[in-house]
Amino acid sequence: MRWNIVCPLALVVPLTTAPGKAQAPRELVTRAVNAMGGEPAVRAVGAITLSFHTATFALGQEETPASLARATVAYGRIVTDLRGNRQLFEQEVRQLTGQVTRQRRITAGGIGLLETDGRQTAAAAGAVAAVERAMRLSPERLLLAALDHPSTLSALPAREWRGSQSHGVRYAAGPDTLALYFDRWSGLLLVTETVTDDPILGDRRTVTWFTRWQPAGAIQLPRQVDIEVNGRLQSHTIYTTATVGDAPADAFVIPDSIANRAQRASAASPPIVVQLVQLAPGVWRAEGGSHHSLVIEQPQQLVVVEGPQTTARSRAVLDTLRTRFPNKRVGVVVNTHHHWDHSGGLRGYMAAGVPVLTHARNAAFVRQIAAAAKTVAPDQLTRTRQVPAIQTVEDSLTIGSGDSRVVLYRLPTVHVEGMLMAYVPQARLLFASDVLTPAAPLNPAGSAEMVAAARARGLAVDRFAGGHGGVANWADVERAAQP
C-alpha cells in the first residue's frame, strides 16, 4: 500500500515584539503596561476592589520539620485607594480548629486599625509599613513606578520559569528592590523575586507569581497570585471578582480613639530589651516581647532553655547574661521544638559558639539552620563554618547535678512532635512553650497535657513558666485541666 503524506504549511503570524529577543529594561516595562491596557488606562485607575479566597500555609509550624505545612482558608475583599494610598482589608479566616475569625484592617495616613471579632486596636508600626509596601508592589503601581524612575532599572539575564524563558529587570528602589520577569508571549508581569535574610533559611527567596490575567474595566489584572518561599508554597490566592473605580471615602475611617494612640508606619525593628526576672534561687526567665527563655545558673555554666525569634534577640539575651554573669559562659542552649518562632534564634547562639541541645527528631533541622547560606547578612558561621556541637535528647536528659540541675523530658502533645519541657527540681518549676501559655483563663486542653506529662514523670511541681505569657501556680493548672 502506498501512503501519501501531506505536510500542511505552517501559518506565520508576525509578532510586534519577538518573544526571544532581548529588550531594554524600560521597553520590557512599557510592554507590560501596554499589555495591561496602556499607560493612560492604568494611570486613570482610582481604586481597585478585589474579592478573594486564599489558602495560607503555615511554613515553620508543621508537625515535624519534614511534614507538609497545614493550611488555613480565608475569604474576603480588599479595597485599595491608589490615589489616597489607603486600603481596607476584610476577611473571615477558617482556623484549623473550625473556628471562624473575622478580621478588618484599615491602613490610611501612615497608621492602621486592626479589628478582630469586633475588638479594635491600633496596628503595629511594622505591620502598617508592610501593608504600605505591599500596596507599592502591586503590579499596577510597581510598573508605573518603574516607568517613572527608569534609573532604577537594569537588565537581568533571561531565566526559565515553568518551562519558558523570561526576560528580567532589576528594580532597585531601596527596600522595594526586587527582580521582575515578564511572560515572553503576552508581555505581562509573570514573577517578582526578592532575596532577604531569614533566621532559619539564611537567604530567603520569595517568588510571587501573577497569572490568569483578566479584564477589570479598561485594564487587565491577575486573578491568581501564588507566593513561594524557597520553593515551598506559602499562599495561594484566587480573586473571584475585580472591579475598578473610585473608592468610597467612608471605607477608610479610623476612629479617633485608635488614631490618637496609633504608631506611624516604620519598617525599622524596635529595640530589643531583655529583662532577667528571677523565679527561684539560680533560676531566671529572660523576658521581653512575646517570647521568653529560661536561664539556670550552674557552677560552671549557664543553661538557656529556648532560643526563639531572631539572631538579634539571641544577641540581646547573651549581652544581658554577660553583664549579669561576667565570669560565666552560656554552656548550652536548649531548643524546645522546631517551630520557626522558637528556633529562629539558634543560629545566633551557634555563631557565638554555644552548643545546641534538641530532640533527636529535630537534629537534622538544626544542622540545616547551621549550614544555611547567608549571603545577604553573613555571620560568624558563614566566615568560619565552625559549627558547635548539636546534641540530642531521646526521652530525657539531665544537665548538671545537685541543686542546680535541670532535667529535659520529651513532652507528648498534639501541638508538635519532638517537643521538650524543662524541669528544675530544686525550684519545683516546670517550663514549656506553646502547649500552655499562662494567662487568665488557663487553656483546659494545654493544662491537661501538661498535667498528664508531669504525672507520667512523677514530677513535684509548684509553678509553671511559659515560653509565652506569665507564670502560673500549678494548682491552678491542675484545676484548669479537670474535665
Does residue 231 sit in the same domain as residue 105? yes
pLDDT-based confidence at 5, cuts 50/70/90?
A: very low
The confidence score (pLDDT) of residue 21 equals 61
The confidence score (pLDDT) of residue 98 equals 79
pLDDT, greater one: 279 or 22:
279
User: Does residue 268 fall inside a structural domain?
Assistant: no
Does residue 214 sit in the same domain as residue 338? no
Nearest Cα residue to 173 out of 127, 205, 137: 137
Between 20-29, 64-73, 103-112, the lowest mean confidence (pLDDT) is in 20-29
User: What span, in angstroms and rounded, lies between the C-alpha atoms of 270 and 341?
Assistant: 17
- 390-393 and 356-359 beta bridge pairing: parallel
Q: What SS3 class is residue 471?
A: strand
Does residue 471 sit in the same domain as residue 363? yes
Does residue 379 sit in the same domain as residue 425? yes
Average pLDDT of the segment spanning 235-257: 94
Q: What is the pLDDT of residues 318-349, one digit of tens each?
A: 999 999 999 999 999 999 999 999 999 999 99
* Structural domain ending residue among the three candidates 205, 230, 259: 259
pLDDT, greater one: 9 or 389:
389
CATH code, 242: 2.50.20
Tell me the CA end-to-end span of the chain in Å, nearest whole number. 86
- The answer to whether the beta carbons of residues 202 and 189 sit under 8 Å apart is no
The confidence score (pLDDT) of residue 6 equals 30
Q: What is the pLDDT of residues 360-379, one digit of tens each?
A: 999 999 999 999 999 999 99
pLDDT-based confidence at 12, cuts 50/70/90?
A: very low
C-alpha distances (whole Å) from 217 to each of 49, 88, 141 are 11, 20, 17
DSSP 205-274: EEEEEEEEEEEETTEEEEEEEEEEETTEEEEEEEEEEEEEEPPPGGGG---HHHHTTPPPP--SPPPP--
Q: What is the pLDDT of residues 435-454, one digit of tens each?
A: 999 999 999 999 999 999 99
User: What span, in angstroms and rounded, lies between the C-alpha atoms of 177 and 149?
Assistant: 13
User: Does residue 270 fall inside a structural domain?
Assistant: no
Q: What is the pLDDT of residues 284-315, one digit of tens each?
A: 999 999 999 999 999 999 999 999 999 999 99
- pLDDT at 14 exceeding the cut of 60: no
User: Does residue 428 fall inside a structural domain?
Assistant: yes
Q: Residues near 302 by Cβ (< 8 Å), separated by ≥ 6?
A: 295, 296, 321, 325, 328, 329, 330, 331
Q: Residues near 409 by Cβ (< 8 Å), separated by ≥ 6?
A: 395, 396, 420, 421, 422, 423, 453, 457
CATH code, 305: 3.60.15.10
Q: Which three cell numbers stand for residue 49?
A: 476592589
Does residue 210 sit in the same domain as residue 315? no
The confidence score (pLDDT) of residue 332 equals 98
- 275-280 and 232-245 beta bridge pairing: unpaired
Does residue 225 sit in the same domain as residue 341? no
User: Does residue 8 fall inside a structural domain?
Assistant: no
Between 96-100, 187-191, 250-254, 351-355, the lowest mean confidence (pLDDT) is in 96-100
User: Does residue 234 fall inside a structural domain?
Assistant: yes
Length of the chain: 483
Nearest Cα residue to 49 out of 221, 209, 250: 221
Q: What SS3 class is residue 366?
A: helix
- The answer to whether the beta carbons of residues 31 and 182 sit under 8 Å apart is yes
Name the pTM for this structure.
0.92
Does residue 158 sit in the same domain as residue 207? yes
Average pLDDT of the segment spanning 128-151: 97
The confidence score (pLDDT) of residue 151 equals 97
- pLDDT at 4 exceeding the cut of 50: no
Q: Is the peptide bond before 441 cis (omega within 30 degrees of 0)?
A: yes
The confidence score (pLDDT) of residue 22 equals 66
User: What span, in angstroms and rounded, lies between the C-alpha atoms of 335 and 342?
Assistant: 7
Does residue 184 sit in the same domain as residue 281? no
- The answer to whether the beta carbons of residues 187 and 21 sit under 8 Å apart is no
* Structural domain ending residue among the three candidates 259, 283, 301: 259
Does residue 287 sit in the same domain as residue 239? no
- The answer to whether the beta carbons of residues 197 and 204 sit under 8 Å apart is yes
Name the residue type at position 161. Answer: W
Percent of the chain predicted with pLDDT > 70:
95
C-alpha distances (whole Å) from 11 to each of 14, 123, 186 are 10, 58, 19
Q: What SS3 class is residue 371?
A: helix
Does residue 238 sit in the same domain as residue 331? no
User: Does residue 6 fall inside a structural domain?
Assistant: no
Does residue 296 sit in the same domain as residue 247? no
Angle formed by the axes of helices 444-457 and 474-481, to 10°? 110
The confidence score (pLDDT) of residue 267 equals 86
Number of domains forming the structure of the chain: 2
User: Does residue 245 fall inside a structural domain?
Assistant: yes
The confidence score (pLDDT) of residue 20 equals 52
How many whole angstroms from its chain centre is CA 381? 23
- pLDDT at 8 exceeding the cut of 90: no
The maximal CA–CA distance of the chain, rounded, in angstroms, is: 100
Q: Residues near 73 by Cβ (< 8 Å), separated by ≥ 6?
A: 53, 54, 55, 56, 93, 94
The confidence score (pLDDT) of residue 460 equals 98
* Structural domain ending residue among the three candidates 206, 229, 259: 259
User: Does residue 287 fall inside a structural domain?
Assistant: yes
C-alpha distances (whole Å) from 448 to each of 175, 296, 361, 444, 476 are 46, 26, 24, 6, 11
Mean pLDDT of all residues belonging to the chain: 94
Does residue 114 sit in the same domain as residue 224? yes
Residue 388 is part of which domain span?
275-481
Q: Which three cell numbers stand for residue 296?
A: 539556670
Q: Residues near 30 by Cβ (< 8 Å), separated by ≥ 6?
A: 39, 147
